[in-house]
Structure 1
Amino acid sequence: MWTVENRVRYNRDQLRYPSDLTDAEWSLVEPQIRPAKPGGNRRRVNVREVMNGILYVLSTGCQWRAVPKDLPPYPTLFGYLDLWMYDGTLDDLHTALYDQCRTQAGRNPEPTAAIIDSQSVQSAEKGGRGLILRAMMLGNGSRARSGTSWLTPRG
């Protein structure tokens, strides 16, 4: 409910962009971000600004090249987004925030019930997302390197 205190809590007028993280939000996100790998160069980018840039693109729907100049460059933003998807950082962040929301609501962090409909079952039987991604990747290599080259009719 939009009470006076809730309006104050969710007011984002003091932020540079409405998609920027507040200090309280960043304190929840920061522990989930993995540190830079040892042995390489120091991380020269502010990770909070990277997260703000990614959230800006996601909230506005703008093109990567249209990211404002006061945020990190778009190749940096996209590179971190790609890395965090690959190494599981985004999954870990989602899980941590989801568990915290459930705990604040007085519920068990682990759901105890699930609803399965016929669409979900059909999708799981066919292999779902993982199988689709693997099938898409197989066609990208040359015939000589492809594990499916014997399936491709020659002619």
Structure 2
Amino acid sequence: MRTSYPSNLSDAEWETLQRHLPPLSKRGRPPIHFLRIIFDAIFYVLRTGCPWRYLPANFPPWQTVFYHFRRLRLKGTWTLLLRALHQTERERQGRNPHPSAAIMDAQSVKTVEESAGICGYDAHKQVKGRKRHLLVDMLGLPLPIYVTSADVHDTRGARCLLSGLAPFVPRLKKIWADAAYRGKQLADWCKEQADWDLEVVECDPGVRGFSIVPRRWVVERTFSWLSRNRRLSKDYERKVQTSETLIQIAMIRLLVTRLGRSDEPLLS
């Protein structure tokens, strides 16, 4: 009997996830391990923060789990899966699948010895590590995700984040950001890319301490969602592509939980 962990998928969540997965190839020998167990192992690593080699013995071998994690990344399956779940969640809440407004921000996190090959020093946040650049819709769900060293300025990271995005967000017109994205050059660049209107939302003058800033709190909440996963408390990954994938998987797990609850039958 397999041990159940809080990070494991419920039956309703697995059905929700399975509906959005591409069909399995019928070529080759049948798989030894069920795909659901592979996903449970990946979510376990994300939630607990344990290294791949420290996976409990009741999961498939760590080499098998990491192989599937990497294969799905290289095939772009994680990206397609997040996009499909994102659109489904927006439709469930009565919104258009494609957002018309978004919020942009960046978060600097520390690195460790294994991930020190690509890192820098963010003088503003006084953090040596990497920077996560996110563009989220009004529900706080990310559209593109881009990870750089922490010394990359937010305006430069914004160009990397938004480049090539226009075909995937045909209705996007408005982007809100904080004062780090201030400047006519970036605003003009957004206009040239897809006629996006970049508006900087700043704190009210004279306000000290913590205060909720309109629009910007949405992306801050997204960063707090990511921090629930211990694997994302720091950047432990050797490659920034792996870091981006783990952020995608964290949001996939969040969306599967929401959609799985909506599919569960009500108790009479």
Q: Identify the TM-score tier after normalising by the shorter chain.
A: 0.5 to 0.7
Asked whether 1:98 is paired with 2:86, we answer: yes
Counterpart CA distance in 2 for 1:71 and 1:44 is: 12
Residue deviations 1:46-84 (CA, integer Å, cap 9, x gap): 000000000000000001111111111101110000011
Matched, 1:109 2:143: no
Is 1:76 matched up with 2:64?
A: yes
Pick aligned residue for 1:122 from 148, 151, 156: 156
> What is the RMSD of the two structures over their aligned residues, measured on CA atoms?
2.8
Q: Given residue 109 of structure 1, which amino acid in structure 2 is its aligned partner?
A: P
SS of the residue 1:110 aligns to: coil
Q: Secondary structure at the match of 2:102?
A: coil
- Choose between structure 1 and 2 for higher RCO, CA contacts under 8 A separated by at least 6 residues: 2
1:42 to 9, 17, 30: 30
Offset at residue 44 of structure 1 (A):
1.8
* Pair 82,107 (structure 1): closer, same or farther in 2 beyond 3 Å: same
Q: Which runs of 5+ in 2 are unaligned?
A: 106-152, 164-239, 241-268
Preserved contact between residue 42 and residue 65 of structure 2 (Cα < 8 Å):
yes
Larger Rg: 1
- Shift in Å at residue 38 of structure 1? 3.8
Evaluate the alpha carbon distance shift between residue 32 and residue 83 of structure 1 in structure 2; reply closer, same or farther with a 3 A threshold: farther
TM-score under structure 2 length normalisation: 0.39
Q: Which amino acid aligns with 1:101?
A: E
Structure with greater proportional helix content: 1
Question: Could you give the per-residue CA deviations for residues 18-43 of structure 1, whole angstroms, max 9, x where no partner exists?
Answer: 10001111011113333443432222
Give the aligned residue type for 1:27.
E
Q: Which residue of 1 aligns with 2:40?
A: 52
CA distance in 2 between counterparts of 1:31 and 1:64 reads 27
User: Which has more strand, going by share of residues?
Assistant: 2
Contact 1:32 1:89 in 2 (8 A): no
* Alpha-carbon distance in 2 for matches of 1:87, 1:111: 25
Counterpart of 1:71 in structure 2: which amino acid? F
Counterpart of 2:8 in 1: which secondary structure?
coil
Distance 1:102 1:96 in 2: 10
Separation in structure 2 between the aligned mates of residue 120 and residue 114 of structure 1, nearest angstrom? 16
Give yes or no for the alignment of 1:21 onto 2:9. yes
- The normalised TM-score by structure 1 is 0.64
Instruction: Count residues in correspondence.
Output: 116
Listed as ranges, the gaps of 5+ residues in structure 1 are: 1-14, 134-155
Task: Give secondary structure in 1 for the equivalent of 2:101.
Answer: coil
Give the match's secondary structure for 1:114: strand
Q: d(CA) in 1 for partners of 2:57 and 2:103?
A: 45
Counterpart check, 1:62 vs 2:75: no
